Amino acid sequence: MKLNSPLQVYKYLPQINCAECGDPTCMAFAAHLIDRSKKLEDCPPLLKDEFKKKYMELLSLLAPEIRQIIIGVGERAKKIGGDDVQYRHQLTFFNPTAFAYDVWDTMPESELVERVKRISNFKKFYVGKFLKVDMVAVRCISGDSLRFAGAVKKVSETTELPLILCSYDPSVLKAGIEVVKDKNPLVYAATEQNWGEVAELAMNYKVPVVLFSSNLDKLKSLALTFMEMGIKDLVLDPGTFPQGKQLKESFERFIKLRRAGIKEGQKDIALPIMAVPLNAWLVYKDTVTASYWETVLASVFIVKYGDIMILHSLEPYAVLPEVHLRDTIYTDPRTPVKVTPGVNEVGTPAKDSPVIITTNFALTYYTVESDLSSNKINCYLAAVDTDGIGVEASVAGGQLTSAKIKDTFQKANFDFKEKTTHNTLILPGLAARLQGDVEDATGLRVLIGPPDSGRIPGWMEKNWPPKQK
């Protein structure tokens, strides 16, 4: 039985309301456990001997429906799986799909190193954070254990990213694992043919393993066998076929697996799922077409239950849509994406620089900030606390008001007389109806800016500095 209400969880807590967890009551803490914003270890009394039994019970009763697995070690270690719901709006999805990009053991060493660096260093700034990729999948093409081990060693020396070691030959896998046995690599893959030897490797080296079969009954049978042997850190690859009826069937297998894990409580296959969009390269030979179809496959399985995937194309037109889609799907729908309210400097504002208002909805804030900084407009940019709601909706809903705007400057100790020579605020065009109220509340002159920040440079040319009254 999985606990899914604060009241159910409360029964297992010490119920002494000591507030050591940072919450005023055990019930409040229980609510945080349910939404996973806190963990059991945040309650010190629960860790004492007298509550040990309840702690152990809670550990299992709060465990996610889909097993969570860690790949790699250190700061770049990656958690996959760990979801509780089939649909994001029911709670949220927790661990974003891990993207692994391939290298292979027949690459010349300089190319191998260059590609690994490219994978490791990829980052794209978006809404206040960097979007990155997560792993390197080392594929054995040569069939030669020594050569594979050499490639794994070179990759491991070049990056801190977790590794996936890819071969169906257990002796090749063993040679690769031996090189990075302290780095918790993911082993790809155990099949109907090699499962006994791969299971032995998993037990000996205590590494997570991918099980591969496009036949769900056989995949389940493999999972059951590994579980009975005590190997639980498993990932399921039900096959990713790139086109036609087989693609439809691949999609259906992903859905069946996740439904079985979450809705039907089939614990043996309540495991993270791997997609391999790289398979598009088996069908399409030119770079643009293969990258395009690889991105299509990646998109399908980011949306539907791919917890980890192996990809090839590092072209920006392939990677950018993938990282952006993943970011969107794994944004917590319970919390608006917002920035800390306050008055921030863009560039190096002087006393004659404009003071511009926006809201603390992250997408709006960073769009405005980017438009200002890329046009080299030095200014102050005030993010008003609208609970993460954009300008137009927050004006309509009453979250963006003259009082909130005044409050933003007061809390930031922003004194217009000291910081500016113009005593002027610029409101977004979509908040024009607040002009009179803001003038009354702040005593400042209020100008109405353009309705979108892309037009600020043109607006500045005509309206800044403000004309004397």
Binding stretches for ligand SF4 (CB under 6 A): 13-14, 16-21, 23, 26, 29, 43, 45-46
Contacts of 404 (CB under 8 A, 6+ apart): 384, 385, 386
Closest contact distance (angstroms) between CB of 29 and ligand SF4 is 4
Distance (Å, whole) CA 387 – CA 399:
7
Closest contact distance (angstroms) between CB of 449 and ligand SF4 is 47
Task: Characterize 20-54 residue by residue with b for buried, 16 or more Cβ atoms within 10 angstroms of its Cβ, and e for exposed.
Answer: ebebebbebbbbbbbeeebebebbebbeeeebeeb
Is 26 or 151 the residue whose CB approaches ligand SF4 more closely?
A: 26
- The answer to whether 425 and 357 are in contact (CB under 8 A) is yes
Is 39 or 455 the residue whose CB approaches ligand SF4 more closely?
A: 39
- The answer to whether 37 and 52 are in contact (CB under 8 A) is no
Is 48 or 248 the residue whose CB approaches ligand SF4 more closely?
A: 48
Residue type, 19: A
Is 33 or 236 the residue whose CB approaches ligand SF4 more closely?
A: 33
Is 17 or 142 the residue whose CB approaches ligand SF4 more closely?
A: 17
Closest contact distance (angstroms) between CB of 30 and ligand SF4 is 7
| Two tokens, residue 221 | 């049978």
Contacts of 222 (CB under 8 A, 6+ apart): 190, 191, 192, 195, 211, 213
Is 31 or 320 the residue whose CB approaches ligand SF4 more closely?
A: 31
Is 51 or 126 the residue whose CB approaches ligand SF4 more closely?
A: 51
Closest contact distance (angstroms) between CB of 91 and ligand SF4 is 21
**Phi, psi torsion values for 45, nearest 5 degrees:** -60, -30
| Two tokens, residue 403 | 């009082």
- The answer to whether 281 and 290 are in contact (CB under 8 A) is yes
Closest contact distance (angstroms) between CB of 400 and ligand SF4 is 36
Helix, strand, coil percentages in the chain from 3-state DSSP, rounded to 5: 50, 15, 35
Distance (Å, whole) CA 358 – CA 426:
9
Is 7 or 403 the residue whose CB approaches ligand SF4 more closely?
A: 7
Distance (Å, whole) CA 25 – CA 280:
53
| Two tokens, residue 306 | 């791919």
Is 50 or 418 the residue whose CB approaches ligand SF4 more closely?
A: 50
Closest contact distance (angstroms) between CB of 4 and ligand SF4 is 18
Closest contact distance (angstroms) between CB of 434 and ligand SF4 is 42
**Phi, psi torsion values for 78, nearest 5 degrees:** -125, 130
Closest contact distance (angstroms) between CB of 39 and ligand SF4 is 11
End-to-end CA distance of the chain: 71
Angle of helix 244-262 relative to helix 216-228, nearest 10 degrees, comes to 40
Closest contact distance (angstroms) between CB of 65 and ligand SF4 is 24
